[in-house]
A and B are shown apart, each in its own frame.
Chain A
Amino acid sequence: MRTPSCRQFALCNLSTYTLPMVLSPDVKKGSAELLILSLLEGGPLHGYEIARLIADRSGGTITFTSATLYPALHALDRQGIIRGQWVVKPGERRRRYYHLTASGRRTLQAHRRGWRRFIDALSLIGLPARAGR
């Protein structure tokens, strides 16, 4: 495995959305996709639920504003990776639920693989690998 460039390294080391100005737009986009798809792997969710789960599970480190979340959801929908559908449940507000498509499952696997390799590469250089392999 080759060493990532210094620029990539510096950007990716800051694995948080609280410093958006120094994160590469590409990395932000890639990691947002990974987070969204990972959550949808467990079943259909609506946008607010996704944002809440990300904030909860990251202990508040990662938060999505609606301006970040919905454009990403719509882009994934356009690519056929997820599908959105309006659902009305008794006693609840009408909501648009998203679920993973077959293509989305493959994309998620690929994303996980890519990130795994990237984190492995970082680990080889000196970062302690916390996520177990």
Chain B
Amino acid sequence: MTTPDPVVARWRDEVHRALPGADPDLVEEVALHVAERWTASRGEGVTASEADRAAFADLDVWRSRVNARSVADPSVWRRATSGIALDLKAIRRVVARRPSATLAAGVLVALALAANLSAFAVAYGVLGRPLPYPQPDRLVTLWQSVRGDLGQVSYPDLVNLRETGAFDASGAIMSGFGTLTTGSTADRVETVYVEPVVLTMLGARPPVGRLLESDDSAKLLVMISHRLWLSRFGGDASAVGRTFSLSGETYTIVGILPRGFNLELPVGTAFTIDQPDVWLALDRTASLMTRREASTYEVLARLAPDLSAGNAQARIDARGRELAREFASTNHDREFRLVPLRQQMVGGARRPVALAVSAAVLVLVVALANLTTLALARRRDRETEQTVRQALGASRWKILRHWLLESAIVTMIGGSAGVLAGRWLTSWLVASRGAHLPRVDAVLFDAPVMLYSLGVLAVIGLVPALLSTPHAHIGSAMRADARTIGRSTRQSRRLLVASEIAVALTLSTSATLCGLALVRLLGVNPGFERDRALTMRVSANATRYPTQEATVLFFNSLATQVGALPGVDGAAVAFTLPLSNQPTGTDVMSAEHPLPPAQRLNVGWQMASPGYFHAVGIPIVRGRDFRVEDHLRPRHSTIISESVAQTLFGDADPIGRLVSVGGGEAEGDWHEVLGVAGDVRHTALAEPPTPRVYDAFGPHWECTMFLVIRAQSGVEPAALTPIVRSTIAAVDPTVPVFEIATMGDLVDRSVAGPRFAALLAAGLAGISILLALVGTFAVVACSVAERQRELGVRVALGATTRGIFALILGDTLMTALMGCVVGGVGAALAARILAGQLFGVRPADAAAFIAVLAVALTVASVAAAWWPARRGASVDPLVAIRE
């Protein structure tokens, strides 16, 4: 215990007054300090008043600081941002000095953001966004299941299933197409007949007019989509009450559906409702409504309140079993399935979208690893500068701020490019036919997508910056000196690069195989000329052409007039076209070898007018084409394909022989073979040619036919479109013309899936190659920066510049080779899997590609390491060792 010290006590009071509210320890220390100094001064013979003055002067410094702080204390923001201009200047110098590293980082940011932005936009739009209907999770679709095959439901079954009480509401839907005519414009539109409760379930609120009602059944009243309202009626409110012709009947518009209102019901690729434009009330008087055998309706239902989907399914199952007993002739193998509407709409997209998201996350993780390595390389490079700054007193915040700012600038530049690339990628994905994405209207760049992008950018900006920031404390920063970077860290970085090269080799081989498959697919002979014809569908209006004669006359006259146009080398009509996805089939047998129906040859079937084979470019290998006067012949005329001729008649000449088409012989309808046409790949380029029978248009007829126009040599088929359209309009302005495409377009559409796969694979391969190269660059740059001292010692001990260069590149080469070996195995495995699924590709095809790509990747990796290796080789031993 010390005795009370009056000097200390005096100054303690003074310090209390100078530092009101200060920490007691601080007050005590300052009081002791002043007292010591006062006592020492007195001991040196200074007078009491002078010693007091010196002590008060010391305390005045405290007072002035306290006052200055209370009056002009810079705000936290100001303190945090002071000197930021100097930081920005320094960053500009760094960027100018090392543009390649900055560019590499920017590219990584752009890639990672573009991949994640588009993957999230699609995933959230298609899978995540709630359906735009009330109580979307209670909405289900009802399907009939026969031995596992889902199909539509008959109306009497629906009525019986309603009795279970499983549904709060339910309505039948039937889709179709119609020809909409307003004034002189005719268009083909998608129509949908619904029980009006469907519109209520979907929450439709018409901006103009009213909803369809139960009383509208069998009346000629319609609602139209907002899209059609704008395009055909200019968004005019007076459209309600107006009439238009739909497939020959006159309908009155009672209401407009709200903007964006839609119903999509994809079911595999079999049937679908997609973007209907005309909505009509289901006709309850139609005979289909009472026929239990006619399973023709899609059904939308809302589950009863408080009833789970499982319980509802159980009730449906029980009733289904009763119906199977009660109506055994129609229902003995029928079951009924409830499928949530969301699953029905987007279930098929789950797997591809999940794959896309996984790929994007993988790109993000690898990009982060590369960015961190790049940042570490930068940090090693500038360690001296940072150490001096810290020793000279720069605060932790200022050091951190410098790194964050640098990272933020690269992130913003790369991020801007990434947003643009991501938007482009998303638009491409959405528009791509090969992607088959549902709900593309819901793929938007709105707040959630932008927030996600900002989050990804924050991660991209912060994680590498924080992981590479010189350690929070100067002491530990020095501990993390280059000399202490362990072998394991370097090995794991090499492993990262080797893995990236392996993935790049696997993906680039896969992409090359996809490309090869596409090239081979496009190289097959389809059996017709792909670049000479323009095609379009024309629908003869049933009211204007009510009879067979009128319809046939219309189409023949159309073909003649169009065929006579300048630039046209012939025109014809046909019921279907190769690769037009309109399958029709029948069976055929020769009169000489009668067979029971089950043993007859199944063939594709269609009708065609004279000139069809010439127009499409299918060769007639024997006999002749149809002629207009053929209808005068006593028998129906038929042209068969080569494979049909071979199967039915072997090597014998089939011309003039009789065949039965579709069991017509029962009515004495034998067809005479007029000619043999070349085989055609009708369904898909990847599938072998199918046997085919062509009947003459005339005896067989339809209201909607393809018009095929062959362009003269040197004339672009698509360029004929305007003149052909105006000619059709001159013949009859009320007929709709739709699905205009060249034969080349049909070929392109038929390879949309393989092309999409090839482009996607190429995109992924490109990204993986870029990641691998930037990764190599980053790791070598980092390694060179870390090994400055070692390299300096080597040079000091006599190593030449060339030797150092070779040492660094040798390391890179070994890493690349390691990646290529692993990637080669992965690529070979991928090739085995892909060979079974790609057209015309065998596993052996991959060997040459793997070798070439491995060499290319190795060379590219060494090239990526070249620049940092040069820097390493030019190290000054004195500087390096001193560092």
Report A-chain residues with C-beta under 8 Å of the C-beta of B479.
106
In angstroms, Cα B37 to Cα A9, docked, is 35
**In the complex where A1-B879, A93-B8, A106-B478 touch, is A48 in contact with B32 (Cβ < 8 A)?**
yes
* A1 near B474: Cβ-Cβ < 8 Å: no
* B61 near A30: Cβ-Cβ < 8 Å: no
In angstroms, Cα B387 to Cα A117, docked, is 9
* B26 near A106: Cβ-Cβ < 8 Å: no
| B164 touches A (CB below 8 Å) | no
Interface residue count for B (Cβ, 8 Å)? Answer: 41
| B394 touches A (CB below 8 Å) | yes
Report B-chain residues with C-beta under 8 Å of the C-beta of A111.
391, 474
Report B-chain residues with C-beta under 8 Å of the C-beta of A68.
61
Nearest A residue to B34 via CB reads A66
**In the complex where A65-B61, A93-B2 touch, is A33 in contact with B393 (Cβ < 8 A)?**
yes
In angstroms, Cα B119 to Cα A82, docked, is 52
| A22 touches B (CB below 8 Å) | no
Q: Which residues 384-398 in B have Cβ within 8 Å of A in the complex?
A: 384-385, 387-395, 398
Q: Which residues 45-71 in A have Cβ within 8 Å of B in the complex?
A: 46-48, 51, 65-70
Contact residues of A: prevailing secondary structure: helix
* B32 near A95: Cβ-Cβ < 8 Å: yes
* A30 near B391: Cβ-Cβ < 8 Å: yes
Report B-chain residues with C-beta under 8 Å of the C-beta of A107.
473-475
Report B-chain residues with C-beta under 8 Å of the C-beta of A81.
475
* A12 near B2: Cβ-Cβ < 8 Å: no
**In the complex where A1-B879, A27-B392 touch, is A110 in contact with B30 (Cβ < 8 A)?**
no
Q: Which residues 1-54 in B have Cβ within 8 Å of A in the complex?
A: 2, 5, 8, 23, 25-26, 28-30, 32-37
| B719 touches A (CB below 8 Å) | no
Report B-chain residues with C-beta under 8 Å of the C-beta of A130.
none
Shortest CB–CB separation between residue A6 and chain B, in angstroms?
A: 11
| B489 touches A (CB below 8 Å) | no
Report A-chain residues with C-beta under 8 Å of the C-beta of B34.
66
* A70 near B29: Cβ-Cβ < 8 Å: yes
* A12 near B384: Cβ-Cβ < 8 Å: no
Report A-chain residues with C-beta under 8 Å of the C-beta of B26.
70, 74
| A83 touches B (CB below 8 Å) | no
Nearest B residue to A104 via CB reads B475
Nearest B residue to A31 via CB reads B393
* A67 near B391: Cβ-Cβ < 8 Å: no
- Most B-side CB within 10 Å, residue of A27, A29, A48, A105: A48
Interface string of A26-38 (1 = CB under 8 A from B): 1111111110000
| B65 touches A (CB below 8 Å) | yes
In angstroms, Cα B158 to Cα A66, docked, is 93
Of the residues B61, B385, B473, B879, contact of A103 by C-beta under 8 Å: B473
In angstroms, Cα B26 to Cα A96, docked, is 10
In angstroms, Cα B8 to Cα A2, docked, is 51
**In the complex where A26-B395, A106-B475 touch, is A66 in contact with B62 (Cβ < 8 A)?**
yes
**In the complex where A26-B393, A31-B393, A96-B25 touch, is A67 in contact with B474 (Cβ < 8 A)?**
no
Interface string of A85-114 (1 = CB under 8 A from B): 000100011111000000111110111111
* B478 near A113: Cβ-Cβ < 8 Å: yes
| B58 touches A (CB below 8 Å) | yes
* A51 near B390: Cβ-Cβ < 8 Å: no
Report B-chain residues with C-beta under 8 Å of the C-beta of A67.
58, 61-62, 65
* B33 near A48: Cβ-Cβ < 8 Å: yes
Report A-chain residues with C-beta under 8 Å of the C-beta of B329.
none
Shortest CB–CB separation between residue B383 and chain A, in angstroms?
A: 10
| B713 touches A (CB below 8 Å) | no
| B476 touches A (CB below 8 Å) | yes
Of the residues B29, B35, B392, contact of A114 by C-beta under 8 Å: B392
In angstroms, Cα B473 to Cα A97, docked, is 24
In angstroms, Cα B110 to Cα A110, docked, is 38
Of the residues A30, A74, A79, A96, contact of B394 by C-beta under 8 Å: A30
Nearest B residue to A90 via CB reads B2
Report B-chain residues with C-beta under 8 Å of the C-beta of A110.
387, 390-391, 474-475, 477-478
Q: Which residues 826-883 in B have Cβ within 8 Å of A in the complex?
A: 879
* B25 near A29: Cβ-Cβ < 8 Å: no
Nearest B residue to A92 via CB reads B2
Shortest CB–CB separation between residue A132 and chain B, in angstroms?
A: 15
Shortest CB–CB separation between residue B785 and chain A, in angstroms?
A: 15
* B33 near A114: Cβ-Cβ < 8 Å: no
In angstroms, Cα B473 to Cα A105, docked, is 12
In angstroms, Cα B398 to Cα A105, docked, is 23
In angstroms, Cα B472 to Cα A61, docked, is 33
* B388 near A117: Cβ-Cβ < 8 Å: yes
Nearest A residue to B28 via CB reads A96
Of the residues A24, A104, A105, A113, contact of B391 by C-beta under 8 Å: A113
* A47 near B474: Cβ-Cβ < 8 Å: no
Report A-chain residues with C-beta under 8 Å of the C-beta of B29.
47, 70, 96
Shortest CB–CB separation between residue A131 and chain B, in angstroms?
A: 15
In angstroms, Cα B602 to Cα A10, docked, is 96
Report B-chain residues with C-beta under 8 Å of the C-beta of A113.
387, 391, 478
* A26 near B394: Cβ-Cβ < 8 Å: yes
Interface string of B369-393 (1 = CB under 8 A from A): 0000000000000001101111111
Nearest A residue to B15 via CB reads A66
**In the complex where A67-B65, A93-B5 touch, is A103 in contact with B475 (Cβ < 8 A)?**
yes
In angstroms, Cα B398 to Cα A84, docked, is 27
Report B-chain residues with C-beta under 8 Å of the C-beta of A7.
86
| A17 touches B (CB below 8 Å) | no
Shortest CB–CB separation between residue A76 and chain B, in angstroms?
A: 12
Q: Which residues 375-426 in B have Cβ within 8 Å of A in the complex?
A: 384-385, 387-395, 398
Nearest B residue to A2 via CB reads B385
In angstroms, Cα B61 to Cα A68, docked, is 9
**In the complex where A107-B473, A107-B475 touch, is A114 in contact with B391 (Cβ < 8 A)?**
yes
6 residue pairs of the A-B complex, CB under 8 angstroms, read A26-B395, A28-B393, A67-B62, A70-B30, A93-B5, A95-B32
> 12 new A-B pairs (CB below 8 Å) besides A79-B473, A107-B475, A110-B474?
A29-B393, A30-B394, A70-B29, A74-B23, A84-B25, A88-B2, A93-B32, A96-B32, A103-B473, A113-B391, A114-B388, A117-B384
Q: Which residues of chain A have a CB within 8 Å of any CB of chain B?
A: 1-2, 4-5, 7-8, 12, 24-34, 46-48, 51, 65-70, 74, 79, 81, 84, 88, 92-96, 103-107, 109-115, 117-118, 121
The 6 A-B pairs of least Cβ separation, nearest first, read: A114-B391, A30-B393, A106-B475, A29-B393, A26-B393, A67-B61
